[in-house]
A and B are shown apart, each in its own frame.
Chain A
Amino acid sequence: MVDERKIKRRKFLKSSFQAAGGFYLTGLPGCQAESNQNKAEEANQSKVVIAQNKLVRDKNKKLNGDQVGKLLDNAMENLLQFNHSSKAWQRLFNKNDVVGIKVNCLAGRGLSTNYELVQAIVEGLKSAGVAEKNIIIWDRANRDLEKAGYKIQTNRNRLKCYGNDQVGYSRKLYEFGEVGSSLSNILVRQCTTIINVPILKDHGICGVTNALKNYFGAIHNPNKYHDNLGDPFIADVNMLPEIRNKTRLTITDALTAQYEGGPPFMPQWTWQFNGLLVGFDPVALDTVAWDIIEKKRKEKGLPSLKQANREPTYIATAADSNHRLGCNDLNNIKIDEV
């Protein structure tokens, strides 16, 4: 059954890839294409697509990879305003890219980036011409990945999957504001671009962990940066050029989300959101993520994060004039629900 699903999806992507290639060659040539692309990206900078569908789960509540793939397709089409997801992937990635998929597997089973989503992202990248061997599924440590169910794979001719401990950290110290860190060599040396794939969840110290906080898994000393609710450290980490410049897309795995008790997996406080948050602006994504968690907390009769003394103030810091990483005003974020 699993294989059948995979075949269906590949066939679908194969046809997508062919159609998109034709569009790219004839539709947006040369400078005009670049100009249009810039306009499109500018217009989409503070847009967040929330894609939800209960069909991502079967009757036993298990994720259906095909449906997760379709959900991602819908989100990508909406985000980049194409009627075919492969065109969206081609707008963002090409065959020269080496793409790191920064997952979040700290909480182990139950609340880590789901492999069905990662698989869909891999297929999307392949539809844009990125070779499988140029894709690295990546997190803090091999052990974290393994605990979440991923298999460590370092063969240079295949899809790769490993942690920072596999290749170490930069000797160079990267600094911004209060932060001074060595960065993962996966980020610095191996990848030309990153897709950030965090989890939507509550955080016992920083309030919320989503797009911005996920890059604590790229630095060698995240333990030093949880004081003061992670503020301004989380924003500062995201200002490091290797992170800021290489991040091309954020896809939040909100298939299962957690509104209390994070970052570890606490099943009593998770819910099946059955969705993805997709966008370019990490601050906007975090703002929307925070809003979703607050609403769920209210629904469950829990105090707001501010009342719980862990309001995620780092999000506003990320938007301030020293950082300008994005928009934290819900009124100015275009939220498309698909």
Chain B
Amino acid sequence: MCGAGAVLLSSLGSNSDLLKQDTKNLVEAKYYEKLPHRKIKCVLCPRECVIDDLETGYCGVRENYGGTYYTLVHSRPCSAHVDPIEKKPLFHFLPGTTAFSIATVGCNVLCKFCQNWEISQARPDQINNYDMPPEKIASYAKNNGCKSIAYTYTEPVIFYEYMYDCAVAGHRKNVKSVMISNGYIQAQPMRDLCKVLDAVKVDLKAYTKEFYKKLVAGRLQPVLDTLVLLKEEKMWTEIVYLVIPTMNDNPQELKRMCKWIVSELGPDVPIHFSRFYPVYRLKNLPPTPTKTLEMAYNIAQDAGIHYAYIGNVPGHDGESTFCPNCKKVVIRRIGYQIVENHVSQKGICFNCGSKIAGVW
């Protein structure tokens, strides 16, 4: 059949042979339910995708093969770097240390302002990936002097199984694990994950349902639920709020959010107000003016939040940590660098002896 002009045909194996080939090196996903007619329902994130045979979920990295759900990215990170922990940003978790930072492709939301959209919105076959099993990640982290492994850049919820296994492997080598997440995950998988994590940073992208619907393709409530769950689990948590001009910089919205944080999470949860830069599908907006970030910073302080920060404005005083008791600078930062540190290894302010919240 394969002569010139004929459409090229290949011989075919049996269905079970093809299925075996497709799933040969794949790891079965956690948190899904089998449905009739080879469908499955994913219950890892609040989206709860119902997925037909040979289709992927919204995340693009979990695929149904014959009624069994697989992760396509276990041990296949597309990015691996050694970063300062401050870059995550986590300012109250082993400050001044480095994190071995990894990501796979994929994400379970679709932020129109995503800074890493080339990898977060891609699928595994579209990007070059490394072959890095969990033990290798733990070894790389240890050998590079990293105190932690960070699951970051894209959305680690979608590579849950890999993250979990890396965290277990890391702990065997005394390397901690931090998750840099949008918090868009269901309660049970998050609770299970808390057993192997040491800190979580959550992007709270706005405090309105409308923003989440229009600009994130997600919902606000599950993120708030995750934050409350992390508090219940006593997980060290910091929040990042990317301030986007005209989209989520309304002072009343910020006041409501800060009030909620103080009442539901407590005043010791740090919040980082980060500067937005026009990117991806929001190129029509300007970068966030510094005065807008300062406004948000002041609102947080007025609401009683102990540790408010301004991000992506190197050299700004808002990058530094102030003791909530004596009001003195206890950690002075410029960008990701720590230039002064007046906190003891037990988290005590050298000036007044007060406890500074965090993991030290």
Are the C-beta atoms of A132 and B54 separated by less than 8 Å? no
Question: Are B281 and A263 closer than 8 Å at their CB atoms?
Answer: no
Q: Are the C-beta atoms of B8 and A223 separated by less than 8 Å?
A: no
Task: Assess whether A141 is in contact with B7, with CB atoms less than 8 Å apart.
Answer: no
The reply to whether the CB of A2 lies closer than 8 angstroms to some CB of chain B is yes
- Residues A180 and B123 in contact in the complex (CB < 8 Å), given A123-B5, A159-B7: no
B121 touches A224 (CB 8 A): yes
Given contacts A118-B7, A150-B8, contact A223 B60 (CB under 8 A): yes
* Distance between Cα atoms of A126 and B6 in the complex (Å): 11
Chain A residues near B18 (CB-CB < 8 A): 108, 147
**Interchain nearest-CB distance for A283 vs B (Å):** 25
> How distant is A269 from chain B, measured CB to nearest CB, in Å?
9
Name B4's closest neighbour in chain A (CB-CB). A132
Does B123 contact A151, Cβ atoms closer than 8 Å?
no
A 122-136 binary contact with B (CB < 8 Å = 1; else 0) = 110010000010000
Cβ of B52 within 8 Å of any chain A Cβ, yes or no, is yes
Taken together as a complex, chains A and B put the C-alpha atoms of A137 and B15 apart, in Å, by 23
Chain B residues in 8 Å Cβ range of A108: 18, 54
Cβ contacts under 8 Å, B4 to chain A: 132, 158-159
- B42 → chain A closest CB, angstroms: 12
**Minimum CB distance partner of B22 in chain A:** A143
B10–A151 CB distance below 8 A = yes
**CB <8 Å contact, B122 and A150:** no
**Interface flags, B30-59, vs A, CB<8A=1, else 0:** 000000011100000000001011111111
Chain A residues near B121 (CB-CB < 8 A): 220-221, 224
Closest residue of chain B to A13 (Cβ to Cβ) is B5
- Is there contact, CB below 8 Å, between A223 and B126? no
Q: How many residues of B contact A (CB 8 A)?
A: 37
Chain A, residue nearest B10 (CB): A151
Q: Which of A140-189 contact B (CB under 8 A)?
A: 141, 143, 146-147, 149-153, 158-159, 161, 165, 168-169, 173, 175, 180
Instruction: Tell me the smallest distance from the CB of A117 to a CB of chain B, in Å.
Output: 9
Tell me whether B55 and A180 are in contact (CB under 8 A): no
In the bound complex, CA of A153 to CA of B39 (Å): 33
Most buried by B among A10, A119, A168: A119
**Chain B contacts for A132, CB-based, 8 A:** 4-5
Distance in angstroms from A46 CB to nearest chain B CB is: 31
Encode B157-194 as 1/0 by CB contact (under 8 A) with A. Answer: 00000000000000000000000000000000000000
- What residue in chain A is nearest B47 (Cβ atoms)? A227
- Is there contact, CB below 8 Å, between A137 and B7? yes
Contact of A150 among B3, B5, B10 (CB under 8 A): B10
Please give me the residue from chain B that is nearest to A116 by CB atom. B7
A residues 256-302 with Cβ under 8 Å of B?
261-264, 266
Q: Which residues of A have CB within 8 Å of B52?
A: 204, 262-264
Interface centre among B6, B7, B10, by most chain A C-beta atoms within 10 angstroms, is: B7
User: Contact check: which of A137, A220, A226 meets B122 at CB < 8 Å?
Assistant: A220
Q: Is the CB of B54 within 8 A of A220?
A: no
A48, CB-defined interface residue at 8 Å: no
In the bound complex, how far is the Cα of B10 from the Cα of A152, in angstroms? Answer: 8
A23 near B: Cβ within 8 Å?
no
- How does the 8 Å CB contact mask read for A221-265 relative to B, with 1 for contact and 0 for none? 101101100000000000000000000000000000000011110
**A95 on the interface (CB 8 Å rule)?**
no
Residues of A within 8 A of B55 (CB): 263-264
Closest chain A residue to B112, Cβ basis? A180
Contact flags B6-26 to A (C-beta < 8 A → 1, else 0): 111110100100100010000
Question: Quick one: CB contact mask for B87-128 with A, threshold 8 Å, 1 for yes?
Answer: 000000000000000000000001010000000011101100
Interface residues of A in 202-224 (CB under 8 A from B): 204-205, 220-221, 223-224
B283-321 residues with Cβ-Cβ distance < 8 A to A are: none
How many A-B residue pairs have C-beta atoms within 8 angstroms? Tell me: 98
Task: Decide: A10 and B54 in contact? CB cutoff 8 A.
Answer: no
| A10-B2 Cα distance, complex, nearest whole Å | 15
Cα A77 to Cα B290 in complex, Å, equals 67
Contact A153 B5 (CB under 8 A): no
Q: Are B7 and A165 in contact (CB under 8 A)?
A: no
A residues less than 8 Å from B56 (CB atoms): 223
Residue of A nearest to B12 (CB): A149
Q: Do residues B5 and A149 form an inter-chain contact, with CB atoms below 8 A?
A: no
B339 on the A face (CB < 8 A): no
Contact A115 B280 (CB under 8 A): no
Q: Indicate which residue in A6, A150, A159, A221 contacts B60 across the interface (CB closer than 8 Å).
A: A221
Q: Do B281 and A161 touch (CB < 8 A)?
A: no
Is B352 on the interface with A (CB-CB < 8 A)? no
- Asked if A106 is an interface residue, CB under 8 A from chain B, the answer is yes
Given A109-B12, A119-B7, A180-B280, A224:B217 Cβ within 8 A:
yes
A195: Cβ under 8 A from any B Cβ: no
A319 within 8 A of B: no
CA distance A221 to B61 in the complex (A): 11
Residues of A within 8 A of B15 (CB): 109
Chain B residue at minimal CB-CB distance from A101: B7
Q: Which residues in window 68-89 of B have CB below 8 A to A?
A: none
Interfacial chain B residues near A151, Cβ < 8 Å: 2, 8-10
Residue contact A173 to B7, C-beta cutoff 8 Å: no
> Are A150's CB and B58's CB within 8 A?
no
17 contacts between A and B (CB under 8 A): A6-B3, A122-B7, A132-B4, A143-B22, A147-B12, A147-B18, A153-B8, A159-B4, A169-B126, A204-B39, A220-B126, A221-B122, A221-B123, A224-B58, A224-B110, A227-B217, A263-B54
Going nearest first, the 3 A-B pairs with the smallest beta carbon separation are A151-B8, A264-B53, A151-B10
- Which of B's residues lie within 8 Å of A, judged by CB? 1-10, 12, 15, 18, 22, 37-39, 50, 52-60, 110, 112, 121-123, 125-126, 217, 280-281
Given A115-B9, A147-B18, A264-B54, list of 19 further CB < 8 A pairs? Answer: A6-B5, A109-B15, A119-B6, A122-B7, A123-B5, A141-B125, A143-B22, A149-B9, A151-B2, A159-B4, A159-B7, A165-B125, A204-B39, A220-B123, A221-B60, A223-B59, A224-B60, A261-B37, A263-B54
